[in-house]
């Protein structure tokens, strides 16, 4: 059984795939790891920049997934409205 997700073609009839996050979670633990790995000299400004970068990256990915699946989202929304 292939369990990999085709993010360019989300199956909106699958309850599992419908429940996937459109935007990747950002936890404090992830942020602290990013700070540790990416910031040589830790300052508040550097932390703010890392946070902005993390958010921007997630938003960009979400827009890409959304755009790739817009036709399916549109069809599913129209079908739901009919019912």
Predicted confidence pLDDT, tens digits, the chain (83 residues)? 456 899 999 999 999 999 999 999 999 999 999 999 999 999 999 999 999 999 999 999 999 999 999 999 999 999 999 97
Q: The pTM is what?
A: 0.83
Q: Are 65 and 24 in contact (CB under 8 A)?
A: no
Enter the tokens of residue 76: 């599913």
Q: Are 33 and 14 in contact (CB under 8 A)?
A: no
CA quadruple 25, 29, 30, 34: dihedral positive or negative? Answer: positive
Predicted local confidence at residue 18, as pLDDT: 94
Distance, C-alpha 77 to centroid of its chain: 20
Enter the tokens of residue 53: 């970068």
């Amino acid at each position: 059984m292939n369990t990999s997700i085709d993010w360019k073609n989300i199956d909106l009839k699958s309850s599992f795939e419908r429940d996937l996050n459109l935007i990747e979670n950002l936890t404090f633990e992830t942020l602290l790891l990013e700070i540790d790995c990416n910031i040589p000299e830790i300052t508040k400004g550097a932390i703010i920049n890392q946070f902005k970068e993390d958010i921007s990256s997630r938003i960009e990915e979400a827009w890409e997934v959304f755009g790739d699946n817009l036709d399916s989202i549109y069809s599913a929304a129209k079908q739901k409205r009919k019912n």
